[in-house]
Amino acid sequence: MNNANSELDAWLAGEDLFEQMLPDPEQWVAGFDADRQLVLLKIGPFQRLFLRPGKFTKRFYHQLYPLRIETWPYRQQVKLFEDFCTVDIALDVRFQATLNYVQKNPEILDSINQHIQGLYSPVIEDKINQELSKLADGSWVQKGLAEHEKRIAITVCEVLTQQQIQAEAICHMTVAFVDFPEVQLGKDSVYLHVLKRTFELNEEKNREHQRQQRHNEQQALLAKQQEMEHLKQLAEMQRQIQLVEAEAQIQLLQDKEQQLAQRLEVETRLHAAQTSHEQHLKEMSFEIELRSTQALEARQRSMEAQQVAERLAHEALLADKQTLAEIQRREAAQKRWREAENGGDSHETADD
């Protein structure tokens, strides 16, 4: 009960009830995964995003997108108390997009980290400015800036985490005073405490403004959470529909693949049979052509032999005729010779 009253008193006094609940930025566990990769399954008009599993075989319809851990250095300088002091903020943010965030922004998958920096840079700047506005009361002069550094780091991590972006941040703030460059927080606070008194008049107003602002933020956050829950339900329904469609599409592709395999097998057999038939026809044609050539050569040889025989027979006939003519010529010569001899004998007898 006393604890509840103390919390109520602190709230009425304008103190931040969540200040004691802030985790240490050094203990913030972002849960980064250096090997995180997304797989984009794209088949025609259908596409689906999912994390790359441990045992994964890439297909032609897969595209891999690594979700890298990005380092985002953020620097800002502000001047307080009419430029009496200068505060330098060095905020180093490391972040990594999650599957849920990418599924909400699939069109900028190639430049997801640049998109995050460009989109949330104004938001982070607003959060830093909100925290810097709390420096106006001057209490940090004695206490230092450690709590403010912690709050900035945690707030930035919460902003990104609420958007399904894993993040961790480290904030470091340094202060320089124009007229007192050697002044150190927590040591030389005699003069600096005067600054605190200067802004005490605005303390109640600032507290009320902060309380109203937190109330508005809580209401906006509640409405945002309800909207996100509704969108989450719609996204889950859409995911289930897409999953069913994807399974149907995959089954259809598998059926087509089986049909193509069977068709290829049949075409292969037909091609082999056609090739064998054509080879058989070529062999038959070659055999017929060979036989025809052999028959033609045999006829040519027969005709040549017949021509040789006829030529020899003709030559023999001519030789026989020539021999017969020679015999007849000789017989005629002998006959004339005998007749000539007989005629001479007759003349001699008459002379006698």
Instruction: Give one DSSP letter per residue of 39-91, joined into a string.
Output: EEEEETTEEEEEEPPSS----TTEEEEE---EEEEEEEEEEETTTTEEEEEEE
Looking at residue 171, what is its pLDDT? 92
Question: Apex CA 164: angle with CA 159 and CA 169, to 5°?
Answer: 45
Looking at residue 28, what is its pLDDT? 62
Q: Is 78 left (phi over 0), alpha (psi -120 to 50) or beta?
A: beta
Query: With 50 as the cut, is the pLDDT of residue 72 above it?
Result: yes
Looking at residue 314, what is its pLDDT? 87
Q: Mean per-residue pLDDT for 315-339?
A: 86
Looking at residue 2, what is its pLDDT? 46
Domain ranges of the chain: 18-198
Query: With 60 as the cut, is the pLDDT of residue 62 above it?
Result: yes
- Note whether 175 and 101 are within 8 A (CB): no
Contacts of 10 (CB under 8 A, 6+ apart): 17
| 104 vs 351 pLDDT, higher one | 104
- Note whether 169 and 91 are within 8 A (CB): yes
Residue identified by tokens 């050697």 is: 182
317-326 long-range CB contacts below 8 Å, 24 or more apart? none
Residue of 41, 43, 61, 59 whose CA lies nearest to 51: 41
Looking at residue 181, what is its pLDDT? 54
Please report, rounded to a whole number, the percentage of residues in the chain having pLDDT higher than 90: 7
Give the whole-angstrom CA distance, residue 281 versus residue 340. Answer: 86
| 51 vs 17 pLDDT, higher one | 51
Q: Mean per-residue pLDDT for 222-248?
A: 88
Looking at residue 193, what is its pLDDT? 54
Token couple for 44: 């025609």
With 0-12 / 13-18 / 19 or more C-beta atoms within 10 angstroms meaning exposed / middle / buried, residue 85 is buried
**10 Å Cβ neighbour count for 74?**
18
Query: With 70 as the cut, is the pLDDT of residue 23 above it?
Result: no
Going by DSSP bridges, is the β-strand pair 85-97/165-177 parallel, antiparallel, or unpaired? antiparallel
Residue of 28, 180, 151 whose CA lies nearest to 89: 151
Q: Which of 127-141, 157-171, 199-213, 303-317 has the lowest mean pLDDT?
A: 199-213
For the question of whether the overall pTM of this predicted structure is more than 0.75, the answer is: no
Looking at residue 90, what is its pLDDT? 92
- Note whether 49 and 106 are within 8 A (CB): yes
Query: With 80 as the cut, is the pLDDT of residue 115 above it?
Result: yes
Question: Apex CA 144: angle with CA 143 and CA 149, to 5°?
Answer: 125
| 352 vs 75 pLDDT, higher one | 75
The SS3 call for residue 243 is helix
pLDDT tens digits, one per residue of 168-216: 999 998 888 776 555 555 444 445 554 555 555 557 778 888 888 888 9
Residue of 110, 113, 133, 109 whose CA lies nearest to 121: 113
The SS3 call for residue 167 is strand
- Note whether 253 and 43 are within 8 A (CB): yes
